[in-house]
Chain A
Amino acid sequence: MSAVSSPDHPLLGLPGERRLLLGNEAIVRGALEAGVHLIACYPGTPSSEVPDAFYSMRGQGRFRMEYSVNEKVALEVAAGAALAGAMSLATMKHVGVNVAADPLLTSAYIGLPGGLVLLSADDPGCHSSQNEQDNRHYARFASLPCFEPASAQEAKDMTRAAFRLARELQQPVMLRVTTRVAHMRGPVEFGALPQTSPLVEFQRDPGRFVPVPAVALKRHKALAAALEQAARLAETSPFTRCRAATRPSRLGIIASGVARAYLADALTEGGWEDSVHILELGVTWPLPVEALGAFLSGCDRVLVLEEGAPLLENDLRALAQRRGLAALVEGKDADLTEQGEYSTSRVLRRVSSFLDCPRAVAPARGPLRAVRSDLPARAPNLCPGCSHRAVYYAARQVYGDAPVYSSDIGCYTLGMAPPLRMADFLVCMGSSVSAGSGFAAVSDRPVVAFIGDSTFFHSGMTGLANAVFNRHNLLLVILDNGTTAMTGHQPNPGMLQEDLGEAARHLDIEGVVRALGVTECARVGAFNLKALLGAFADMKEKSGVRVLIAEELCALYARRRRKTARRTVVVARQGDEARRCLERLACPAFCRDGDDVAVDQTLCVGCMVCLQAAPGVFKAVSHRQG
């Protein structure tokens, strides 16, 4: 994430320019081409590059953007702006849409005149998520037209089309990507960039915009009508693409999302392009039922390729029954399941058996290498100099295995791994406080909960208010590293004012905690091991809701931010104590040198925690900045 805005940003290139863009960057360009006015988001992989690219272009008067404190707030801010007539974009990862579901469903009832696009970035395969929920369910659930790109170029073009549709229908529209599309890189040809686009003036109309029961019922009908119109538009959309087989065939394949890409490659590899009818769906809700019906009536068997839930597959079965069509619809099976991702090979195998036709391209010679599960693991880990490690180390020294450790979503979840083992359960963002409260309410074991600064503002504050209100009993440790670290150092209210600049205001975490009624609150520097150990020991003796705020900037963030003389640590005394420290802290900067312990000087950032944990074993060395 760039800290300065650039007037000649690559995403502001001229029409006709062709650039290699990330899917997420292409979405940004598409929104700019549509004339987006406001962007609100909560960062989350695989969506984060979208708001981050807008942030890197901020302050040029083209748009207003904000990192909201959570997804519900982001969607509400975007919805408010769309009520005021602005084209607005709300971006979040798939689980974030759960947080935003309340405003989402009702904003579809009242309709948003300016046009709102919701980017839902799903994560089949759980590359960086706690589940692989399929948010196409939300498009159906909330009655949102849904676009699903499968290339970087489509990501741009569909974003622009989604905004135009959102404004035409005055209804929120979903743009749904998956990790592979968000993080694919491909050539994108730019379209025209408008200087400004007009706002739709707000006309006071409580009979539409205030959904009391009588209004809501009326608006539910209006929503159905809008969706019917969207279905008609989907019939002739350039993103609904049908290609008939050039040889006589009664077989068809319908694909959506990234499965369209795997299908195209499998057909080329197999040499089957001419022998099967193909329907690619780019608009996946509402369905273009006339096009689908015509396709089904031309086929005896139809294979549906879609990652995730068999939504399209089941809708096609229902359509065939409604229309009395005999086409047999096939989809999920033992290989192409609802779990994980598809691939060219898997689609190729399935298409081969569907067509009962061996592939034209000869398979590779020799067997594949088997996956070796016996290799040394290389799991993601807390970085060298991560302040969370120091806090976890101190907590374990004081508490040991007696409590349950209630974790939350952020880098600090990585503390679950041995030897720190600082996560016993996790539900969702913000749950450390409230699920921890519930656990403690029925258990004899003490509960120590961990939450980061951004997650505290996201949804930890509400849980903390509840914990105080309902007289719960837990220690909440707020791991304040001054940034939203896991997703790439986005601003949050806990970030230092000097880093936030003019557009945003710092909120003091301790002030918020105390204002919520917490009386037992301490604040310590996370690299001060003695103070940490003392604070934990003190909190352990008390009961009720207690909060310990451990402050130290994220090591990666601090490295980018500061230019101070570098200090590192070297081993001064080998032996059992040095080995024990390696085993207990498990800092990635430690390595083995035969039987000795060494500190990799290129990785050590000089947090000096090991120096305090094992006095006399390590010593600090200073380096002149080159």
Chain B
Amino acid sequence: MKKNAAQRRLRIYFTGVGGQGALTATSLLAHAALTAGLGVVAGEVHGMAQRGGVVESALLLGGWRSPRLDFGEADVLLGFEPLETLRGLPYLKPGGAVFSSSDPLPPLSVSLGAARYPDLAEIEAEIRQTAGRHRFLPCRKLGLAAGSAQSGNTALLGAVCAADILPFGLEELQSAIRYFLPARIQEANLKALSLGAEA
């Protein structure tokens, strides 16, 4: 019994850029987990991070009490932007899973010519060195195909769901979308979810 419960304990680290919807994605998964009857704690950081900076959040499933993740604690890393996936890698437990968007959003330092955006191949090589499995997804393309670039986040959630890592399935995530998101964007997100799951 206890072993079973421990197997379902899962810690997910989310990272992205302010305004991308990383916090909404966290809430969606949290609601889905609650629907599935799991213990849920999520941690967010508001405020400064919203002004175009990095936004990170955490979701701990299966009976944790902590609201945050430290380096090496995440079983799963969800990156909504490839550079932020790379920056967030220290949070991944070696051998963990990485799901990342492959669409760069270059920060201002790159636009100003003060810094170089790393190649996707370089990012992937670094991920390989620590992750047990990883997956890049063209989130923006899938989002646009579903009806809005924003819903690309949900495509990434679909891909994680289809990978059979989460202690719940697409159905719980679909009902979370219907419960949690405004009616006008539900269709696009439901479509993005299945596009991500099938990708």
Task: Give the residue of B30, B40, B66, B108 whose beta carbon is less than 8 angstroms from that of A586.
Answer: B108
Does A297 count as interface, using CB distance less than 8 angstroms? no
Task: Give the residue of B30, B51, B107, B114 whose beta carbon is less than 8 angstroms from that of A414.
Answer: B51
- Number of A residues whose C-beta is below 8 Å from B? 61
Q: Contact mask A268-288 → B, CB, 8 Å, 1/0?
A: 100000000000000000000
Shortest distance from the beta carbon of A574 to any chain B beta carbon, whole Å: 15
| In the complex, chain A residues whose CB is within 8 Å of the CB of B113 | 592
Once the chains bind, are B67 and A379 in contact (CB under 8 Å)? no
Instruction: Give the size category of B's interface with A.
Output: 35 or more
Once the chains bind, are B47 and A46 in contact (CB under 8 Å)? yes
Q: A184-B43, A414-B51 are in contact. Are A258 and B30 (CB under 8 A)?
A: no
**Count: A-B pairs, CB below 8 Å:** 176
Q: A150-B65, A345-B73, A376-B110 are in contact. Are A364 and B95 (CB under 8 A)?
A: yes
| In the complex, chain A residues whose CB is within 8 Å of the CB of B66 | 258, 261-262, 264-265, 343-344
| In the complex, chain B residues whose CB is within 8 Å of the CB of A366 | 94-95, 130
| In the complex, chain B residues whose CB is within 8 Å of the CB of A128 | 46-49
Task: Give the residue of A150, A346, A376 whose beta carbon is less than 8 angstroms from that of B116.
Answer: A376
Once the chains bind, are A592 and B92 in contact (CB under 8 Å)? no
Does B187 count as interface, using CB distance less than 8 angstroms? no
Does A357 count as interface, using CB distance less than 8 angstroms? no
Once the chains bind, are A380 and B53 in contact (CB under 8 Å)? yes
- B-facing residues in A370-406 (Cβ within 8 Å): 370-372, 375-383
Shortest distance from the beta carbon of A608 to any chain B beta carbon, whole Å: 20
Q: Contact mask A236-268 → B, CB, 8 Å, 1/0?
A: 000000000000000000000010111011001
Task: Give the residue of A45, A364, A583, A591 whose beta carbon is less than 8 angstroms from that of B94.
Answer: A364
Once the chains bind, are A183 and B94 in contact (CB under 8 Å)? no
Give the residue name and chain of the B residue nearest to A178 (CB).
Answer: B67
Does A459 count as interface, using CB distance less than 8 angstroms? no
Q: A187-B40, A376-B115, A381-B53 are in contact. Are A346 and B65 (CB under 8 A)?
A: no
- B-facing residues in A582-604 (Cβ within 8 Å): 582-583, 586, 588, 590-592, 602
| In the complex, chain A residues whose CB is within 8 Å of the CB of B149 | 602
Does A367 count as interface, using CB distance less than 8 angstroms? yes
Give the residue name and chain of the B residue nearest to A363 (CB).
Answer: B72
Once the chains are docked, how many angstroms separate the CA of A46 from the CA of B110? Answer: 31
Once the chains bind, are A380 and B64 in contact (CB under 8 Å)? no
- A-facing residues in B34-89 (Cβ within 8 Å): 34, 40-54, 63-73, 83-84, 86-87, 89
Shortest distance from the beta carbon of A399 to any chain B beta carbon, whole Å: 22
Greatest chain A CB density within 10 A among B40, B65, B109 is at B65
| In the complex, chain B residues whose CB is within 8 Å of the CB of A181 | 67
| In the complex, chain A residues whose CB is within 8 Å of the CB of B52 | 378, 380-381, 383, 588
Once the chains are docked, how many angstroms separate the CA of A48 from the CA of B50? Answer: 14
Does B21 count as interface, using CB distance less than 8 angstroms? no
Does A512 count as interface, using CB distance less than 8 angstroms? no
Q: A181-B67, A186-B42, A345-B72 are in contact. Are A486 and B47 (CB under 8 A)?
A: yes
Chain B residues in contact with chain A, CB under 8 A?
Answer: 17-18, 26-27, 30-31, 34, 40-54, 63-73, 83-84, 86-87, 89-90, 92-96, 106-118, 126, 129-130, 149
Top 8 A-B pairs ranked by shortest CB distance?
Answer: A128-B47, A184-B67, A366-B94, A343-B70, A376-B115, A45-B47, A380-B53, A261-B65
Q: What would 14 A/B residue contacts be, using CB atoms closer than 8 Å?
A: A184-B42, A186-B41, A258-B66, A261-B66, A345-B73, A368-B92, A369-B92, A376-B117, A380-B49, A419-B112, A486-B47, A486-B48, A586-B108, A588-B52
Q: A383-B51, A383-B52, A586-B112 are in contact. List 4 more A-B contacts (CB 8 A).
A: A180-B43, A378-B17, A378-B52, A487-B47
